[in-house]
Amino acid sequence: MSTAHKNFLLLLMVILLAAVPFLIHRSAEFAGADDRAAEAITQIRPDYKPWVKPVWKPPSGEVETFLFASQAAIGSGIVCYFLGYSKGKKQRESK
């Protein structure tokens, strides 16, 4: 199997992993874990007060989403760099 074929199959699997939950649960609300945790805490203890307040609150949900996506992209870039570096180092040593 060629590399292009493998890459195409991997891309197809990623698209399916992203799309299938939306197709299975069409009317579901996809909220973040923070929102669900806050709801669960207030159901268990309605008088709960948070211990700390955020240092900075993003001006909108879009900015918050952008910062989260940027953090994920930077983190995955770092991880993938070191994976590629270690693979290249191993290949260089085996020659």
pLDDT by residue for the chain (95 residues), tens digit each? 889 999 999 999 999 998 898 888 877 776 677 778 888 999 999 998 888 888 998 898 889 889 999 999 999 999 999 999 999 999 998 87
| pTM over 0.75, yes/no | no
- The rounded distance, in Å, linking the Cα atoms of 31 and 39 is 11
Would you tell me how many other CB atoms lie within 10 Å of the CB of residue 82?
10
**Residues comprising the chain, all counted:** 95
The pLDDT, as a whole number, for residue 41 is: 92
Q: Which two tokens stand for residue 69?
A: 């996506």
Asked if 70 and 77 touch (Cβ cutoff 8 Å), the reply is: no
Q: Which helix (H) or strand (E) holds 46?
A: none
Q: Kindly state the DSSP code that residue 53 receives in the 8-state scheme.
A: -
How far apart (Å, rounded) are the C-alpha atoms in residues 10 and 2? 13
